[in-house]
Chain A
Amino acid sequence: MTAVLTIAVLVLVGIAVWQMTKIFELSQVRAKSANAEVATDEDNRYNGYLMFAFLIFIYGITIFSFWKYGKYILPESSSEHGAEYDSLLLWSFVIIFIVQFITQALLHYYAYKYRGKKGTKALFFADNNTLEFIWTIIPVIVLAGLILWGLYTWTNIMDINEDDDPLIVELYAQQFNWTARYGGADNVLGEANVRLIDIDRANILGLDESDPNASDDVIVKELHLPVGRKVNFKFRSQDVLHSAYMPHFRAQMNCVPGMITEFSFTPTVTTAEMRQRPETIEKVKRTNILRAEKAAMGEPNSDPWEFDYVLLCNKICGKSHYNMQMKIIVETEEEYQAWLEGQQTFNQTMASMQP
């Protein structure tokens, strides 16, 4: 596939160069005058046509990209607020493509239509208040709509509160991995600070051992979320800036050393359900074909893939920034409870470390 694309590109470029040289030759016929390097009617004609061709190219690459790459776009959102996000995004794109379609057409069509010819008189048209007013007011109205919708959604998403008994989870970032901490039975996170980190005693997140809320905290390397329950995330970082990016949930927040940032969402689709979706099955199939090819060549990163939600680092954080990730598993309440019970609490971990 890649080879075909490359060849297509090379052929297109070849045609372009060939056309260019043709223009070049044609314009060489004329004797060199003082105005040799100023566009002639001939140049205007050729470049006018090319402008029109370029308009077709822009439309072409748009259609090509949608046809070829449209399927790569992230699937429908798996969180509650994500549905609103997706429809706002869709409408923004509708507006963008309408404007893009019209303005590019006008720009390139005029460049083609009004290409210079000797003796043509351009229209002295310097001002028109009505026109200016129209194309000021239209963007104002359209943008006002988008702004209001966007702000309304933003305020809702960022209104992080304790209503509806949310699950409290801390996501802790460090170069170059993630750790998750659950509040445990009391669903309250114990106090923590990097100054309390004690690597030797496995207190890797710097929990305050004297804080009773900390004793039942559960520290894990895989993020499990019960479907349909609101999750309030608290983000911490111990070294540099990181960004917790959960693209399938339309969720992202920076992790800033020295402060606790927050984000909240409700997952709506379990990992198991997601794996059954036709578009996921398609994507996994396409990917595994590629991975099988890689495996055949003996390359790394070529094991067969099964879909999983993932948490990525999305703020440059150093050498292994490109591989800072954690698996996210969305499951039913029962599965979640069963998993949680199987985990050690902070107290149990500390006790097992005692000599």
Chain B
Amino acid sequence: MSVQAHALTDDHAHDHGHHHKETFVTKYIFSQDHKMISKQYLITGLIMGFIGIAMSLLFRMQLAWPGESFPIFEAVLGKWAPDGVMDADIYLALVTIHGTIMVFFVLTAGLSGTFSNLLIPLQIGARDMASGFLNMLSYWMFFLSSVIMVISLFVEAGPAAAGWTIYPPLSALPMAQPGSGMGMTLWLVSMAIFIASSLLGSLNYIVTVINLRTKGMSMTRLPLTIWAFFVTAIIGVISFPVLLSAALLLIMDRSFGTSFFLSDIFIQGEVLHYQGGSPVLFEHLFWFLGHPEVYIVILPAMGIVSEVMSVNARKPIFGYRAMIASILAIAFLSTIVWGHHMFISGMNPFLGSVFTFTTLLIAIPSAVKAFNWITTLWKGNLQLNPGMLFSIGMVSTFITGGLTGIILGDSTLDINVHDTYFVVAHFHLVMGISALYGLFAGVYHWFPKMFQGRMMSKNLGYVHFWITAVGSYGVFFPMHFVGMAGVPRRYYQNTAFPMFDELVDVQVLMTVFAIITALAQLIFVYNFVRSIFYGARGPQNPWNATTLEWTAPQEHIHGNWPGAIPEVHRWSYDYSKTFENGDYILPGQDFVPQDVPLQENEEELQH
């Protein structure tokens, strides 16, 4: 965007009175504008995603061709791959950091951070977030934690390698694993800052949604995106502090000799002084966040998919109130199911029964959502834009991945598939791939809103989607069989067990699919970067959507709308609504924007 254009639009922002001059630093770096912050989140998240996915390719190659020498290993891993053969410690580090980066840095900050920031003010009709300063602070703390996490990769003894769940004692004792020294310290520091960032962001989202909705925007007129972001923020505020406490106690055990999580340890020929702590306590604290975390990841994706699907189906989302109810039910249940990660941890089996019960209950609101999405497609006029394809893809992977949750959530069945590749396949489909599809759907759909009306190439988008869709199933569907064969996760290689020998052909198949799918993401990167600068400018409301963000001008201005904020008169899903005689409410167009008042003879629904 040119400087002149900006000056021009700034003039229009007369009704809230600031005309302060913006410098490069205040506009692009320490910006307090939610639109810029959302772009900062997105781009940081995508860069972290690049690192995370690249790591997964390295360890997938090791799994398919165990012990083989690859020049790429030596080039990337250096001393950790002598003669190009991957070291067992660095394998665990790669797995650990891949999980950490993808869950927290890409799918929490990159997804929820980006779209909450972009859409909350624009869709509820607010000039900006409740506190622009806290918002800026939230991004910069996220950035700082990303930097620390990346720096930890270069530590002498190697990065954290105890798995992304960092269970002590392994994560607490450098004698147990070299990565548990400086690498783990940096991991913990990075996560502590990340948690603070996430809390600042979440509090801001909650306050903004509650207080800054425009006139007429009742809670039941909100787009489902906003409901999803709002509830996600609440879950975050409830559960992230618990992870902070776990991290703090672990830091104390590591550095100050306390015994919160450690007891009776004999390692490297000597007894340590720790007495009376319990690793099971850490597991409880970790999963008290860890499980809600997967819903923090998937709920925004669900919100985005609901919105994008409804717009492109030219139909209201089916069962709007049921969708809200299921978001609330999932949010509530998500905080009382954490124990299903711990059925065989040594905790009281009776607790296992309770957690089985609550866990399988969560399948009900999830099923309702899936059925509602399918019904939204029924008798629609589907505009198969890339965002829509990713939305449909998300429903597909969510169902496939979610169904196997019935097995893992059942304490009995969990006994034999716990910590096997069955789990890896399950959560990659249901929260990894599904949430990524939500991210992609959001980027393709709201790209014009982020980048002054420029649009991403749809054809590259189609190629990106289809290769990704085929590739993701190609990686994770056969993986269920590896798990059913009893192969544990986090094994550097499976050659120590002859019973796993014949599975090597599955491993090769999965790795080939993984490489192809990862390469296809470069198409997205190219499309994204190219479109920022050379993308064709579309109309102001390219997808003919009803929500408020499309009433704002394409040029970004501080305060979002040049004049008064639009007033809302209806819910956000009046697509293809007709009078009784079958004519569209507004002649010649199949949608009624939220700021259009109720027309004569129009039937008002209960929204």
- Identify the A interface with B (CB < 8 A): 1-2, 5-6, 9-10, 12-13, 16-17, 20, 23-24, 27-28, 32, 34-39, 43-44, 47-48, 50-51, 54, 57-58, 61-62, 65, 69-70, 72-74, 85, 88-89, 92-93, 95-96, 99-100, 103-104, 106-108, 110-111, 114-117, 120-128, 131-132, 135-136, 139-140, 143, 146-147, 150-151, 153-155, 157-158, 174-175, 193-195, 197, 199, 206, 235, 238-241, 243, 245, 247, 250-254, 256-259, 261, 283, 286-287, 290-291, 300-301, 305, 307, 310, 312-323, 325
Contact call A39/B318, Cβ cutoff below 8 A: no
The number of residues on chain B lying at the interface, defined by a beta carbon within 8 Å of a beta carbon of chain A, is 142
Nearest A-chain residue to B391, judged by Cβ = A111
Q: In the complex, what residues of B have CB within 8 A of residue A206's CB?
A: 266
Contact call B380/A114, Cβ cutoff below 8 A: yes
Q: How far is the CA of A194 from the CA of B498 in the complex (A)?
A: 33
Partner of A114, one of B92, B173, B379, B538: B379
Q: In the complex, what residues of B have CB within 8 A of residue A240's CB?
A: 168-170, 173, 176
Nearest B-chain residue to A238, judged by Cβ = B266
Chain A proximity of B155: nearest CB distance (Å): 17
Interface residues of B in 397-417 (CB under 8 A from A): 399-400, 403-404, 406-407, 410-413, 415-416
Q: How far is the CA of A154 from the CA of B400 in the complex (A)?
A: 25
Report if A39-B346 is in contact (Cβ < 8 Å); known contacts: A72-B502, A107-B377. Answer: no
Report if A34-B404 is in contact (Cβ < 8 Å); known contacts: A122-B380, A151-B353, A301-B496. Answer: no
Q: Please encode chain B, from 457 to 500, with 1 for each CB lying within 8 Å of some chain A CB and 0 for all others.
A: 11100110011011001100110111011101011111111110
Q: In the complex, what residues of B have CB within 8 A of residue A239's CB?
A: 169, 173, 176, 265-267
Contact call B416/A243, Cβ cutoff below 8 A: no
Contact call A127/B505, Cβ cutoff below 8 A: no
Nearest B-chain residue to A54, judged by Cβ = B469
Q: How far is the CA of A104 from the CA of B403 in the complex (A)?
A: 12
Chain B proximity of A85: nearest CB distance (Å): 6
Contact call A290/B502, Cβ cutoff below 8 A: yes
Chain B proximity of A317: nearest CB distance (Å): 6
Q: Please encode chain B, from 412 to 429, with 1 for each CB lying within 8 Å of some chain A CB and 0 for all others.
A: 110110111000000000
Q: In the complex, what residues of A have CB within 8 A of residue B89's CB?
A: 319
Chain A proximity of B185: nearest CB distance (Å): 18
Q: In the complex, what residues of A have CB within 8 A of residue B411's CB?
A: 150-151, 154
Q: How far is the CA of A6 from the CA of B573 in the complex (A)?
A: 46
Chain A proximity of B489: nearest CB distance (Å): 8
Contact call A238/B265, Cβ cutoff below 8 A: yes
Contact call A258/B412, Cβ cutoff below 8 A: no
Determine whether B214 belongs to the interface, using a CB cutoff of 8 Å to chain A.
no
Q: In the complex, what residues of B have CB within 8 A of residue A154's CB?
A: 349, 352-353, 356, 410-412
Nearest B-chain residue to A131, judged by Cβ = B375
Partner of A121, one of B381, B404, B458, B482: B381
Partner of B379, one of A50, A122, A193: A122
Q: How far is the CA of A235 from the CA of B345 in the complex (A)?
A: 11
| Consensus secondary structure, chain A interface | helix
Chain B proximity of A150: nearest CB distance (Å): 4
Q: In the complex, what residues of B have CB within 8 A of residue A310's CB?
A: 497, 499
Contact call B267/A17, Cβ cutoff below 8 A: no
Partner of A124, one of B501, B504, B576: B576
Contact call A111/B392, Cβ cutoff below 8 A: yes
Q: How far is the CA of A248 from the CA of B466 in the complex (A)?
A: 39
Contact call B485/A116, Cβ cutoff below 8 A: no
Report if A241-B279 is in contact (Cβ < 8 Å); known contacts: A153-B412, A194-B265. Answer: yes
Q: In the complex, what residues of B have CB within 8 A of residue A93's CB?
A: 407
Q: In the complex, what residues of A have CB within 8 A of residue B575's CB?
A: 122, 124
Partner of A115, one of B279, B315, B382: B382
Contact call A155/B349, Cβ cutoff below 8 A: yes
Q: In the complex, what residues of B have CB within 8 A of residue A300's CB?
A: 495
Q: How far is the CA of A318 from the CA of B363 in the complex (A)?
A: 35
Report if A123-B380 is in contact (Cβ < 8 Å); known contacts: A73-B484, A108-B396, A322-B494. Answer: yes
